[in-house]
Amino acid sequence: MFGIFKKALDKTKDAIKSVVGSEKKEKIDKELLEEALIEADIDYDLVEKILNKLPKEVTKEKLKKELLKVFDVLENKIEINDKPYVFLIIGVNGAGKTTTIAKLAYKFKNEGKSVILGAADTFRAAAIEQLTRWAEILDVPIVKTKQGHDPAAVTYDTIASAKAKGIDIALIDTAGRLHNKVNLQNELKKIVNVAKKAYENAPHKVLLVIDGTQGTSAINQAKVFNEVIGVDGIIVTKLDGTAKGGALFSIVNELKLPIYYVGVGEKPENLVEFDKEEFIDGILEGLYE
């Protein structure tokens, strides 16, 4: 896993090295460190909080201890303890939601679990088509309808089908338009209510997909979704394509939500469980090595 994080953070490490240089070092001046962490897109106030108790010259070990504190209280292990276990996947259009659902399906299938997809983003025909293609590639069933039909009905039918066929996991896509918060709120709340009618424990997890290339600007989107529906955790996509990897600290600090998975490429296997130790070690490598 470290190799994956190491590669995914290459652009972020390059941004850091543009500030601190690329030579190996034992300690870094606090002012320079502040500049480097901000360059990696960690929010200024959080950088101040991280560096507040550190001496003028900061060692790798002392910085790691402070960085780990940002993730201290958040447990990010998902225990599949019900059948069907229903995931509602939310996020703005373009964040990589549909591809992330395919990656989750691939992951769970590889773990020996049966999966069904629900194409409840009925606002966009392209989303239905894309998820249908993934269902064919991954050889998993899909419940879908035509563009413009009721997404809550697709959600109900997906869960009902999973129950009837004894399927382990249901992954449900949703529309992600944010231009009208009231519409989004009504639609998502209806989906959740109907999911509970299909199965009282559903949805088990509401996961928000965030585009890693947007850095800390994605936090405001996340706040809207959290207000509207309540979010259990986050999946960050496109981490390999951004120099803003440090934004993960800001996202967790601001939202107090765990990061469950990170997307590090386009292939189905390019979704890894988030590991705070590996992630922080990758950031520190850009600073000290």
Per the model's pLDDT, the better-predicted residue between 44 and 221 turns out to be: 44
Q: Boundaries of CATH 3.40.50.300 in the chain?
A: 85-275
What local confidence, expressed as pLDDT, does residue 160 receive?
97
Class of the CATH domain delimited by 85-275: alpha beta
Instruction: Compute the mean pLDDT over every residue in the chain, rounded to the nearest whole number.
Output: 90
Residue 223 has pLDDT above 90, yes or no: no
Q: Boundaries of CATH 1.10.238 in the chain?
A: 2-73
Q: What is the average per-residue pLDDT within 181-201?
A: 90
Residue 6 has pLDDT above 80, yes or no: no
Name the pTM for this structure: 0.92
What local confidence, expressed as pLDDT, does residue 180 receive?
65
Q: What is the average per-residue pLDDT within 168-193?
A: 86
Q: Give the Cα-Cα-Cα angle 131, 133, 137 (nearest 5 degrees).
A: 115
Residue 90 has pLDDT above 80, yes or no: yes
What local confidence, expressed as pLDDT, does residue 69 receive?
93
Residue 36 identity: A
When pLDDT is cut at 50, 70 and 90, the band that residue 178 belongs to is: low
What local confidence, expressed as pLDDT, does residue 34 receive?
94
Residue 1 has pLDDT above 70, yes or no: no
Q: What is the average per-residue pLDDT within 77-91?
A: 95
What local confidence, expressed as pLDDT, does residue 148 receive?
78
Statement: 2-73 belongs to CATH 1.10.238? yes
